[in-house]
A and B are shown apart, each in its own frame.
Chain A
């Protein structure tokens, strides 16, 4: 049985300066109640790994808006002018990564792999300063694994042991991040008794999940 905690209690677990992997794509599939609790708790200096900077004051954008992020590792910030402003002002460092590379860097960390060899971004400015590895005469760009202290994820259902299901495009980075962090906190849409989720429907096994967020 997993412990179900409030978003406020989750925020208490997360210290300033932590590395957070936060699920979601433009705020779809983002654990909004945990994000809100972090903002309310006035946490600072996070390194946030996510698909994008969300929109101003929405999704990961809420943390950016609250000046709680010192480094953002994402593939896209185009819909959040506040993130661009903080980048230009030097208040926040933004590491842009191709979306597929970002997914694989997280996956590599979670799956115990030494990194990723990809053709994506090879020869572009995005590859500057990065290692190019030649194998059998072919060049590949090396990208290291990307691991977080905390994965903050959203699911559709969770059962009492923490088995998770996802719905439609709210899946995105959530199951990948669940593998790639020391502590996994999931905000499910609903918590159901064990047995409601058939084994074949489980997308993230409960053994990976440390805490569930209580229903609102």
Chain B
């Protein structure tokens, strides 16, 4: 299982049945592969659809039905399309249960930087600032390091996306929860020892006595309902 699959599978287990979820473009998009249809999770794409489905078969694409990256998608039964004001009203207004985004850096305050590298990469924030500020839960799904450099740092050096503290950080090594008392290591990936996680993290990280191994199986509706309760 590669790093991306570990992250995507673990994040998928965070999603609650019947909830409204926004997945960022890229790594987070793949989370939906591990969320079975029976969970009836409604995926929002901020360009204006709730109930987004997979890319249609070749030749069946609708030029008026894309995701926020401009890629063709389908609409699932129960889908609704909305304009940009409603779409961001859902986001800012706290109606989106969870947003899953990539990250460039997360720090000890649980603050996220993921939209700009000044002087190098200035793509624009798109909907990221609204999502991180407004969603009920913010899950950062990212590789633990970038070319060997830790991404979980004492203090973000890149411009913040929001002052908001994120809810959870999921990497191919660990699940880390930002709390009032700082970052807490909640889980480690299968076969990964705590020392490896600490060595690859420059932020101070609290390590409880017992750190369980991540579970990566796909949740059934029954399991997901029990976990959400």
A: residues with CB less than 8 A from B are 25-29, 51-52, 55, 74-79, 84, 87, 96, 98-101, 103-104, 107, 118-126, 156, 166-176, 203
Q: Are A99 and B70 in contact (CB under 8 A)?
A: no
Most B CB contacts (10 A, CB to CB) among A99, A107, A167 go to: A99
- Chain A nearest CB, measured from B7 CB (Å): 22
Instruction: Say yes or no: A107-B124 contact (C-beta < 8 A), given A98-B129, A99-B130.
Output: no
**Contact segment of B42-50, B140-148, B209-217, B218-226:** B42-50
A20 to B84: give the CA distance in the assembly, Å: 18
Q: Which residue of B lies closest to A28 (CB)?
A: B66
Q: Is the CB of A99 within 8 A of B127?
A: yes
Q: How large is the interface on B (under 10, 10 to 19, 20 to 34, 35 or more residues)?
A: 35 or more
Known: A77-B122, A168-B75, A171-B48. A120 touches B66 (CB 8 A): no
Q: Which residues of the other chain, A, contact B75 by a CB distance below 8 angstroms?
A: 168
Cross-chain contact A120 with B84 (CB below 8 angstroms): no
- Given the complex, which residues of A lie within 8 Å of B126, measured CB to CB? 52, 75-76, 78, 98-99
* Beta-carbon contact of B124 and A172 below 8 Å: no
CB distance B66 to A169 under 8 Å?
yes
Q: Secondary structure of the B side of the interface?
A: loop
CB neighbours (8 Å) of B36 from chain A are none
Give the 5 A-B CB pairs with smallest separation, nearest first: A78-B123, A100-B88, A26-B70, A100-B130, A170-B64
A175 and B83 in contact, given A25-B68, A77-B123, A124-B160 (Cβ under 8 angstroms): yes
Can you report 29 A-B residue pairs in the complex whose CB atoms are below 8 A from each other? A25-B70, A28-B63, A51-B84, A55-B70, A74-B124, A75-B127, A77-B123, A98-B128, A99-B46, A100-B87, A101-B130, A103-B83, A103-B85, A119-B92, A120-B129, A121-B162, A123-B162, A124-B129, A125-B116, A125-B160, A167-B64, A168-B48, A168-B62, A169-B65, A169-B67, A171-B48, A171-B81, A173-B84, A203-B83
| Contact partners of A52 in chain B: CB under 8 A | 124, 126
Interface centre among B46, B81, B85, B163 (most CB of A within 10 A): B85
**Which residues of A are found within 8 Å of B161, using beta-carbon distances?**
124
**Contact yes or no, B81 A99, CB < 8 A:** no
Q: Which of B81, B91, B129 contacts A168 (CB 8 A)?
A: B81
**Interface readout for B150-174 with A: 1 if CB under 8 Å, 0 if not?**
0000000001111100000000000
B69 within 8 A of A: yes
Question: Of the candidates B62, B83, B125, B159, which one forms a contact with A98 in the assembled complex, judged by CB atoms under 8 Å apart?
Answer: B125
Q: Which residues of B contact A25 (CB under 8 A)?
A: 47-48, 66, 68, 70, 84
Report Cα–Cα, A126/B125, bound state, in Å: 9
CA–CA, A203 and B82, complex, Å: 11
